[in-house]
Amino acid sequence: MNDNKRSLGLAVAQMGAVNLADTRESVVARLMAMMREAKSRGAEFVVFPELALTTFFPRYWMSEAEAQQRFFEPAMPGPATQPLFDLARELQMGFYLGYAELTPEGQPFNTAILVDRAGKITGKYRKIHLPGHSEHKPEAPFQHLEKKFFEVGDLGFRVFDTDAVRMGMCICNDRRWPETYRVMALQSAEVVVLGYNTPSVNIHWNEPAHLRTSTHLVSLQSAAYQNGIWVAAAAKCGSEDGHHMIGSSVIVAPTGEIVARALSEEDEVICVKADLTLGEFFREHVFNFAKHRRPEHYKLITERTGAGEPVA
């Protein structure tokens, strides 16, 4: 065993429903309460959900202008979120936060930031795999309009050295794609953090309800093991104005095992002391990339988007 273990007090702050009527201030107060709880339980970093500050608004048909006016942040921190940054500095806690970003040029992104223990933004990610559709589906029980409200992220899958830990980020649907994690693992990510809003009903096909949770878990567990990384995932869940989303926020070790899982569909903090040396065993042996990867045989991954004919 490694005697010089580096560790990280890692927490996930799952959120219950955020309804249309909830103010940014009330949501930030909930995030702050969970940051305090995470700190009291030994955490140094806390992961908040995707689009944490508002209801999951892509479920509603409206114009882009209306969505931007009601649900997007033109500044981060802004007046409502500054107290969260101030608390992070006071408690010496880093965090991940997902929100709808409106750039000064008017570009809308589904964004996440990393903030260090000094309350300074050290990394930004803009969601790349945008699920759903852009057209109105009046026959569907609700909409999934990420392709209407957001542009595809333009920052790639970068990693950031934040408070001496190498972290990568992604957002919700990104977690289902193996490329997401491998690109970050090739930059020696130790921990990948993410938030999600996963409706319990799939409007695109008649997916059995239990698969919504099992496909979520299997994606995270395989990614953690195959890349020798910690993965920490925070849901926004429960019933938002009658629209239910799955919970099951988890922290997954580089072994692929779930080491903490939320039990409720409400605001709930889960926490572990993450041994950052654990992944080294996998990265030095079975997944020693330098020794065993064969990128010359992976060319189709970057040459093709959709599946096509067999290679001659």
Among positions 54, 173, 180, 227, the unique one binding ligand CDT when judged by CB under 6 A: 173
Complex with ligand CDT: residue 205 or 310, whichever CB lies closer: 205
Active-site entry in 39, 101, 127, 170: 127
Q: Is 172 a catalytic residue?
A: yes
Asked whether 220 and 235 are in contact (CB, 8 A), the reply is no
Q: Is 170 a catalytic residue?
A: no
Least separation in angstroms between CB 46 and ligand CDT: 20
**Burial zone of 117 (CB within 10 Å; 0-12 exposed, 13-18 middle, 19+ buried):** middle
- Span interacting with ligand CDT, options 78-86, 190-198, 247-255, 289-297, rule CB under 6 A: 190-198
d(CA 66, CA 194): 27
The distance in angstroms from the start CA to the end CA of the chain is 47
One-letter identity of residue 113: I
132 binds ligand CDT (CB under 6 A): yes
71 binds ligand CDT (CB under 6 A): no
Complex with ligand CDT: residue 176 or 283, whichever CB lies closer: 176
User: Within 10 Å of residue 108's Cβ, how many Cβ atoms?
Assistant: 19
Number of residues that bind ligand CDT (CB under 6 A): 12
Identify the three-state secondary structure at position 46. Answer: strand
Asked whether 125 and 169 are in contact (CB, 8 A), the reply is yes
d(CA 277, CA 297): 30
14 binds ligand CDT (CB under 6 A): no
Among positions 43, 46, 76, 172, the unique one binding ligand CDT when judged by CB under 6 A: 172
Q: In what order do the strands lie in the sheet with 230-235?
A: 159-162, 165-171, 191-196, 230-235, 250-252, 258-261
143 binds ligand CDT (CB under 6 A): no
Active-site entry in 39, 44, 50, 237: 50
As a residue count, the chain comes to 312
Q: At what angle do helices 178-185 and 209-227 cross, to 10 degrees?
A: 20
Q: What's the Cα-to-Cα distance from 84 to each of 30, 113, 119, 274, rounded to whole Å?
A: 10, 13, 9, 24
Complex with ligand CDT: residue 8 or 100, whichever CB lies closer: 100
157 binds ligand CDT (CB under 6 A): no
Which residue has tokens 């479920």?
A: 59
Complex with ligand CDT: residue 9 or 131, whichever CB lies closer: 131
162 binds ligand CDT (CB under 6 A): no
221 binds ligand CDT (CB under 6 A): no
Active-site entry in 44, 101, 172, 271: 172
d(CA 291, CA 284): 9
Q: Is 237 a catalytic residue?
A: no
Complex with ligand CDT: residue 145 or 165, whichever CB lies closer: 145
198 binds ligand CDT (CB under 6 A): yes
The residues assigned a catalytic role are 50, 127, 172
State the residues that interact with ligand CDT by CB under 6 A.
Answer: 50, 131-132, 144, 172-173, 176, 196-198, 202, 204
